[in-house]
Structure formats: structure tokens, C-alpha cells
Amino acid sequence: EPSMSIVHHIYEVVGGYFRRKRLRWLTTEFRDCHQVIDLGGRVDMWKQTNFAEHTTVVNIEPAPDSLPSTFTYILGDARATGFQNQAFDLAFSNSVIEHVGSFDDQKRFAHEMLRLGKRVYCQTPNKWFPVEPHFLGLCVHWLPGKWFSHFVDRYLTLHGWRYRPSREESVALINSIRLLTRAQLLQLFPGCKINSERFLGLPKSFVVWK
């Protein structure tokens, strides 16, 4: 399926460009943040930065086999970490808040970020960007809930064409994602700034920060 491979390659190139640009800005804007907590993240990303003296990663996935001494890895719920208020210079998350559950769950996640960090960085895709980034389908995420089905995933998205998911796999993925709008992010993170990452003139994703 060469056409599928080409599209995925283009998507990876575009995604890589934005990740590198985001990382450059992160290491400049937050260079004075030495104690970092990453909610839902991975250790590998922080190996590409040099400003954090110690990084605490909270995730529901098992810890990697070899963990550098500058990291603490906690298997736990990022919506309720148990750390003290303002315990970290930076509370960070990248493409996580759209996966934590309902809007109430997202409120808890945002509140925890604001509580933990003297500064905050939260990146997430824009609901109103026409390409859904997990399914690589055009406007499929704008369908009413019951219409966004296994059939739509399997036959109307690149995810479906490439991976041929079962009905159960489609439903699980659909139910695991709740994309947010800019207005909702302003509601979740009062007093924070929002940067828009644009592709072809349209806001593809947002970075909420303070």
C-alpha cells in the first residue's frame, strides 16, 4: 500500500517539524525550570533537553527498564498525584489531556497541573482542525458520538486502512479520545496563555502555558 506509506511519511515529517520547533521553544522559555513533573509522558523526550535537573514522570504504563538517576518514575494517576502544591518549577504534559477521560476528568487533570507547577506547559490537538491526528481521518471527529463508529474508523480513516482494527479496537480508541477547543482550554486553564501551532494557516494544536 505505497499510497498509505507516503501519507504516513508526510504526516511523520510534519509532526517531526512541529515537535522539534516545540522542543526548541520549551528549552528556551523554561530554561530556569530545574524540577519538572511530566504528567503522562515518557523519559525519552527529556533526554533531548538539558534544563531539568530532575524530572518526575507520572504514567499508567510500566517504567522503562533502565532509568537515569535524574528521573523518578511513578506508576499512578496524573489527575491526583499526591504531591504538595507548587512542588515543581514546571508541570508539563504533551498530548495527554485529550486521553484522560470525560470533561470532568480533564478538569481534574488541568487543576492538578496548575496546583503542582509554578509554571505550566500543556500541549494538545485542536478539535476544530479538520484532520483527526489519531485516526488520520478528515472531519471524522466532528461526527455525533454514535455516528463515529467502527465502520468510519475502518473505512474512512488512514488508521483503519493501515491497521484494520477490530470493532472492539475501534470502539476502545474512539472512547479514549476527547479533543478540546481553544475556548475549553481557556476554561480549564484560567490565567494561562495559549500558543497556536498552525498548519496550512489553520491552528493544528495548542500549547497552554504560564
How many Å apart are CA 191 and CA 27, to the nearest integer? 22
How many Å apart are CA 193 and CA 210, to the nearest integer? 6
Give the cell for residue 74.
511513578
Across the strands, what pairs with 57? 38, 73
Q: pTM score > 0.85 for this model?
A: yes
* Residue range(s) of every CATH 3.40.50.150 domain in the chain: 2-130+180-209
Helix (H) or strand (E) holding 19: helix 2-29
- 135 touches 160 (CB < 8 A): yes
Say yes or no: domain 2-130+180-209 is CATH 3.40.50.1370: no
pLDDT score of 3: 47
pLDDT score of 5: 57
- 159 touches 135 (CB < 8 A): yes
Q: Per-10-residue mean pLDDT for the chain, 210 residues long?
A: 54 70 92 97 88 96 90 96 98 98 98 99 97 91 90 89 90 94 98 94 96
pLDDT score of 41: 94
33: helix, strand or coil: coil
